[in-house]
Structure 1
């Protein structure tokens, strides 16, 4: 199921306070969105598409690599 991301969640994720600024940012980044009562709403899939990530890519993500804390000293 594709979760709907509301305006408040988008504001927190992108760091904008005003819906108009958030809408401009989403347009510039190529994120498809709908205009809700309080501002833009979108989905995780729409964000992934703007990032160039497809669902088939998500199935192939390897396990994260763990580094020892002293490896970079």
Structure 2
């Protein structure tokens, strides 16, 4: 079972509107999205799409501070 954070080739077909794996990959790479090549076609993660769009992940409550505050 795939992680809910992973966008499969089928997900990417629906999102991009392209049918061929090469077209899907080209579209995402042109937009700065890191894409991985899998046996079933290209895949990526929601975090990598957000990163390409300039969004940064929210820090978890226990990750807001590091040792430098001590």
5+ residue gaps, structure 2, are 59-70
Counterpart in 1 of 2:11? 9
Q: Which runs of 4+ in 1 moved over 4 A?
A: none
How does the TM-score come out when normalised to structure 2? 0.73
Counterpart in 1 of 2:32? 30
Alignment size in residue pairs: 57
How does the TM-score come out when normalised to structure 1? 0.71
What is the CA RMSD across the aligned residues, in angstroms? 1.8
Matched, 1:19 2:21: yes
